[in-house]
Structure 1
Amino acid sequence: MTKDIRTGDLVLCKVGSFPPWPAVVFPQRLLRNDVYRKRKSNCVAVCFFNDPTYYWEQPSRLKELDQDTIHNFISEHGKNANQRELVNAYKEAKNFDDFNVFLQEKFEEENRLNDLMAFEKSEGSKIVSGEDPFIGRTKVVNKRKKTSISPRDDAEDKQQSNEEERKPNIKPAKKKRPMANPEVKSNTSNKKKVKLDYSRRVEISQLFRRRIQRNLIQRESPPTEHDIKETHELLNRIYENSDNKKPFFDLKALRESKLHKLLKAIVNDPDLGEFHPLCKEILLSWADLITELKKEKLQALPTP
């Protein structure tokens, strides 16, 4: 961006092969704990419109989004059924005019409205846009006032890090590539394989899950030709990155994205039979990881 980026700014953020998506720069100190733990010193947090996902990105890679750009995009693509989710995101960005209202809606969506009230009480006023997006959570509690953030964040970070180090380095067995959808294969076979950013595997895994889920599961009408084609491409991308020496979709990525559960739901849906072979191959490559996740879930259950 050409100007200093501030919280509440409208931006376009591009993730992997997805088109640039409308988002708003979010205050780091107001993020959920699971999102805040993934912070990077040179990145700011953005919250996408028409999608509950957060993403960490360098300010120089964000593009300023103004009302003229929003209006032009909606005018040009508003009737394009293949881009309905993106168009809806632009429409939400168009209606964005009060950062505090946006925060209230976001916190209510995440069942954290009491947290926002606590923040505003500690500040002595409503939280508005325009602050430095790199401001993190304070770890010092003032006797009179200041922060409702738990000082346990660092301890939780260290515990999570130690848990990750104790996890076995599970590598899926190598396999032959299954036959892709013929139409998709003809369009993608000559394309160079796109390498995904391993450091952002959790966020990207969540984006894959949300896109596939919207294309095939969360809908009132049958998938369009575009939905089907995009889903085949996304599943192929997952498959291509599931048998690397350092698996992109590792234990942490699956634990937080629940992508494996979505693929199981697709396999169990007889109306989605064309996606079954590739989903089964992916799930087979994740078999050891899924077993490990089941063990974690059992260990987390209270003992009788």
Structure 2
Amino acid sequence: GADERPGMKQLFEVGSDRLSRGPVSFAWSPNGQFIATASCQLRLLVHDRKGNLHDEIQIPGRAAPGQCAAVQLAWDRRSEKLALLTAASKPGIGDAVVVYKVRQREAMRLENVQMAKELTHIAWDPQGHVLSVGTAKGNLLLYDTRIGKTMSIMGKHTKGITCGAWSADGRLALGGDDKQITVSLGNGDTEFQLAVKDKPKELQFAPEASSGGSLAATKRLNQISATLSGDQSSIYLYRLGEFGEDPPDIRNPAELRFDPYYGKIKSHHWAGAGYLVVCFDSGQCVLCRMEGGEMEQE
């Protein structure tokens, strides 16, 4: 039925007749034109913004009761490609990667990535050319869609990779079960490595506003925001320093702590320089205005 809340209007619904009952994963394309949804059934549905079915893709693997067939869905920034990490028997672990080209309606399973077992995280680089794939053993795979080749980087972390994010200037931050955050160049070489007090759950490169409130196009993103598994009410900000310089005292990050009233942090996103959106398991979202690593207004 239609949502009766003020200011809210239901546009369309993808019901259980299409998705089956159980957990569902979904992801909007960055341009807002498509939404991809996956459920316990071995199929991925792609609808346009009007609710019309654009395509239906078979997901490899075996269906497991009560488990979504997709561990993670990741669109590239141009909304041209969608990467799908398919679920394995272990919760939160994937066993295959499928890349779907939305305009061409073409899906391809990455066979050379398939050789790596227990996949844990996927993310696109800023241009949408390279897909990073983390594993439960702490290894990193970089798949280049332009040439169809994969570069393997062993031992990026000593334990499983849990999360990651690319910066606009082409660096890759990864968090692991070893309680480390690594920042690597586009070729996989490690630029920084820092120890944190618990396992990272989510990482983002954080834009910093200049004194005039705008973000200079040439300014490097030298700040990482992270949520940690042991503290679900805080976001930590780590400063990395300028390129070629030793990082500042990263052992003492700035902490943004939220009232337990909101619940546990599920996700956070930077909406431009100085603005942070934080979403909680209570269903509430908070918009924060940041200045100099501190919360000015909530």
Identify the structure with bigger relative contact order (alpha carbons < 8 Å, sequence gap 6+): 1
Shared fold (TM-score, shorter chain, > 0.5): no
Quickly name the TM-score band, shorter chain normalised.
Answer: under 0.3
- Looking at CA atoms only, which structure, 1 or 2, has the larger radius of gyration? 1
Task: Write 1 or 2 for the structure with the bigger share of helix.
Answer: 1
Task: Write 1 or 2 for the structure with the bigger share of strand.
Answer: 2
Taking structure 2 as the reference length, what is the TM-score of the superposition? 0.23
